[in-house]
Structure 1
Amino acid sequence: MKKITDFFWFCSGAHVGTLKKYPTEHNKYVGIGATIFFTALFASLSGGYAMYFVFAGNPAAIVFAILFGLIWGLAIFNMDRYIVSSIKKTADTNRQILQATPRILLAIMIGIVISRPLELKIFDKEIRQKLKSSYLNGQRAKIDTLNKAFTNKYSLELQKFQELKNEKDSLEKDINRSRYILNQEVFGDKTNQTSGITGYGTYAKQKEAVVNQKIERLDQVRADLKQTDDLINTRKNIEGLNSTKLFNEQQLDSLANVAGFADRNYALGQLSFNPDGSRDIDTYLAISFISFLFILLECLPVFVKLMSDRGPYDVALQHVEEVALHQSESEKHHLINVTDNVQETKTGEETEKEKILLRRRVKKDLEELD
């Protein structure tokens, strides 16, 4: 437990030598340090998960995710540690709040950043379904756009194809009807269109000639129709219309698996809306509460430091800092006086070179103190 306590003291940014003298302050800074540590841990997991999607499909994706997660977690840890340790409890309440305000704003931004990738993982199943619907609707819109553009571009060919098709259908019906009338004429059925004379006579030959003419026209129309249809299919292949089809379930699963961070983030935002565009309150609140939880977790060390009373450690730390500052100023003035005395007491026996070296050494000491 001593090692864990020392580690959390280090995480809190406290001056361990001074803190050990005041047992009543130990637990407070253990709690602050633990909060900072677990915030950095969540940030590391969040950053690693986000980086995993950036390199999704790459064999080294896991290595990049772990490396970036460690770097991101250490960066957040260092920033939180500085934010908490820089708030001085020796100042008055208004000054503490003024000091903490920019740090709280920064903590809110960090909380939003680290919460988003974890939200993507929590709502992974819903995001996949939303992505599949989005990809399917996008493909359908693409096909509709291609069809509309093709129709506008080849309107004459399509109109000719439709006219030939209508003529073919009309000729086929007309030929069937004419053949029926021809059979009635040959077998002597009396109607308003037949003579009623049995046999292959003059009227039958006339009707057969009409049928043959219609058959010849039908053959010509069919040939023209096939030629026009081949031309239209060739144009569709060139325009990519035949090769563009709706995705099947397997293709949609593959696309959802390789979706990038931006697509998944967009899908997560769309989960808060119903298909009719209205707000889905339940999903919106669920996503928002997760964000608020991480924002609160990130701001918690600052809030704990602000809400805690001024303790003996804070007073002792102020005293240590004032003593250190006073000693630094005293040594600085002492070195300045030594420099002035050296310049005044040097005799003619010393060379100019020795004076320059001495002044440089004194100047270097002053810079180190500053």
Structure 2
Amino acid sequence: MKKITDFFWFCSGAHIETLVKNSTEHNKYVGIGATIFFTALFACLSGGYAMYFVFSGNPVAVVFALFFGLIWGLAIFNMDRYIVASIKKTGSTNHQIMQALPRILLAIMIGIIISRPLELKIFDKEIRQKLKTSYLNGQRSKIDTLNKAFNNKYSLELAKYGELRDEKDSLDKDINRSRYVLNQEVFGDKTNQTSGINGYGTYAKQKEAVVNQKVERLTQVRSDLSQMDKILSTRKEIEGLNSTKLFNETQLDSLVNIAGFADRNYALGQLSFNPDGSRDIDTYLAITFISFLFILLECLPVFVKLMSDKGPYDIALQNVEAVSIYKSEKDKDHKLIVIDNILETRNDVVTDKKKILLKRKKDKDLDQEI
């Protein structure tokens, strides 16, 4: 337990020598240090998970995820430790709040960043389904765009193909109707289109000739239609329409498995909306509360430090810092005194040298006069 306590004290950024002397503050800084440690642990998991999807499919994706997760967790740990350690309890309440405000804003940003990858993992099943729907709709849109471009480019050929197809359908119906009338003529059924004479007579031959003409035309239309169909099929192959089809379930699963962080993040954002564009309150609140949970977890060390009363550790730490400052100032003053003494000594030496030179000059002038 002592090793665990020492470790959490280190995580809290406290001055260990001072904290040891104030036993009433031990548990408080164990709690602060544990909060900082577990926040960094969540950040490590979050960053590693995000990096895993960045290198998804790469054989060394796990190695990159572990390395980046460790670096990201240590960075968050160092930042949180600095934020908590830099808040001093010796000032006024307003001063502490102003001192902690930028750190709280930074903690909020960090909480948002580390919560997003974990939200992606929590809503993984829903995200996979949303991605499948998105990819399928995207493929439909692509096919519709290709069809529209194809129809505009080959409008004349398609119009001719439509005319031939309509003529073929019309001839099929007309031939069936004419053969029925021919049978009535042969069997002597009296109607407004038959003579009522039984047998294969003149009227029957005439009707048979009309049917044969229509059959010949139908054969020609079918030939033209088949040729036009081959031309359009070749054009579709060139334009990529034949090779562009809707994804099946296996293809959708493969696409979802290799989806990157950006696609998953977009799908997570779309979970908050219904297909008609309205807000899905339940999912929106679930995602929002998870984000708030991590933001609160990230801000918790700062809030604990702000809410705690000024204890003996804070007073002792203030005294230690004051002593350190006093010693530093004293050493500085001592150095200044030494420097002044050195400079004064040098000035005395220079003055003595000037006196000697002046005396020598006077002696020289006197010799010249003599």
TM-score by length of 2: 0.89
User: Separation in 2 of the partners of 1:22 and 1:201?
Assistant: 128
CA shift digits 1:59-116 (9 cap, x unpaired) = 1111000000000000000000000000011111110011000000100110111111
Alignment-derived partner of residue 214 in structure 2: 214
Structure 2: gaps of 5 or more residues: 351-370
Alignment-derived partner of residue 44 in structure 1: 44
1:29 shift after superposition? 0.7
1:178 shift after superposition? 2.8
After superposition, where does 1:9-20 map in structure 2 within 5 Å?
A: 9-20=9-20
Alignment-derived partner of residue 334 in structure 1: 334
User: Separation in 1 of the partners of 2:266 and 2:191?
Assistant: 74
Structure 1 pair 308–191 and aligned structure 2 pair: CA distance change class (3 A) = closer
Alignment-derived partner of residue 69 in structure 1: 69
Q: Quick check: 1:284 aligned with 2:290?
A: no
The residue identity in structure 1 corresponding to 2:87 is I
1:231 shift after superposition? 1.4
After superposition, where does 1:65-104 map in structure 2 within 5 Å?
A: 65-104=65-104
CA shift digits 1:164-223 (9 cap, x unpaired) = 111112222222333343444445555444445555544444333322222221121111
User: Separation in 1 of the partners of 2:178 and 2:275?
Assistant: 57
Alignment-derived partner of residue 268 in structure 2: 268
1:26 shift after superposition? 0.8
Alignment-derived partner of residue 32 in structure 1: 32
CA shift digits 1:113-148 (9 cap, x unpaired) = 111111111111111111111111222222222222
1:47 shift after superposition? 0.5
Alignment-derived partner of residue 124 in structure 1: 124
Alignment-derived partner of residue 363 in structure 1: none
User: Separation in 2 of the partners of 1:149 and 1:314?
Assistant: 75
User: Separation in 2 of the partners of 1:116 and 1:326?
Assistant: 48
The residue identity in structure 2 corresponding to 1:121 is K
User: What value does the CA root-mean-square deviation take over the aligned residues?
Assistant: 2.0
User: Separation in 2 of the partners of 1:180 and 1:309?
Assistant: 106
User: Separation in 2 of the partners of 1:64 and 1:152?
Assistant: 49
SS in 2 for 1:136: helix
1:343 shift after superposition? 3.4
Of the structure 1 ranges 102-111 and 189-198, higher mean CA displacement relative to structure 2 is found in 189-198
The residue identity in structure 1 corresponding to 2:254 is S
Structure 1 pair 347–89 and aligned structure 2 pair: CA distance change class (3 A) = closer
Alignment-derived partner of residue 302 in structure 1: 302
User: Separation in 2 of the partners of 1:327 and 1:312?
Assistant: 22
The residue identity in structure 2 corresponding to 1:133 is T
Alignment-derived partner of residue 367 in structure 2: none
Of the structure 1 ranges 259-268 and 5-14, higher mean CA displacement relative to structure 2 is found in 259-268
Alignment-derived partner of residue 105 in structure 1: 105
User: Separation in 1 of the partners of 2:249 and 2:163?
Assistant: 38
Structure 1 pair 283–191 and aligned structure 2 pair: CA distance change class (3 A) = closer
User: Separation in 2 of the partners of 1:314 and 1:191?
Assistant: 117
SS in 2 for 1:279: coil
The residue identity in structure 1 corresponding to 2:285 is L
1:251 shift after superposition? 1.3
User: Separation in 2 of the partners of 1:314 and 1:195?
Assistant: 122
CA shift digits 1:309-348 (9 cap, x unpaired) = 1111111111111111121122222223323322332499
Of the structure 1 ranges 161-170 and 66-75, higher mean CA displacement relative to structure 2 is found in 161-170
CA shift digits 1:214-267 (9 cap, x unpaired) = 222112111111111111111111221121111111111111111111111111
User: Separation in 1 of the partners of 2:336 and 2:323?
Assistant: 20
User: Separation in 1 of the partners of 2:266 and 2:336?
Assistant: 64
1:282 shift after superposition? 1.5
What percent identity do the matched residue pairs reach? Answer: 81
The residue identity in structure 2 corresponding to 1:283 is T
The residue identity in structure 2 corresponding to 1:171 is L
The residue identity in structure 1 corresponding to 2:71 is I
User: Separation in 2 of the partners of 1:183 and 1:282?
Assistant: 72
User: Separation in 1 of the partners of 2:174 and 2:244?
Assistant: 39
User: Separation in 2 of the partners of 1:203 and 1:119?
Assistant: 84
Alignment-derived partner of residue 259 in structure 2: 259
The residue identity in structure 2 corresponding to 1:175 is I
SS in 2 for 1:82: helix
User: Separation in 2 of the partners of 1:178 and 1:118?
Assistant: 74
1:151 shift after superposition? 2.0
User: Separation in 2 of the partners of 1:190 and 1:307?
Assistant: 109
Alignment-derived partner of residue 141 in structure 2: 141
1:51 shift after superposition? 0.6
Q: Quick check: 1:178 aligned with 2:178?
A: yes
How many residue pairs get aligned? The number is: 350
Of the structure 1 ranges 283-292 and 148-157, higher mean CA displacement relative to structure 2 is found in 148-157
Structure 1: gaps of 5 or more residues: 351-370
CA shift digits 1:282-328 (9 cap, x unpaired) = 21111111111111111111011111111111111111111111211
Structure 1 pair 194–283 and aligned structure 2 pair: CA distance change class (3 A) = closer
Of the structure 1 ranges 240-249 and 294-303, higher mean CA displacement relative to structure 2 is found in 240-249
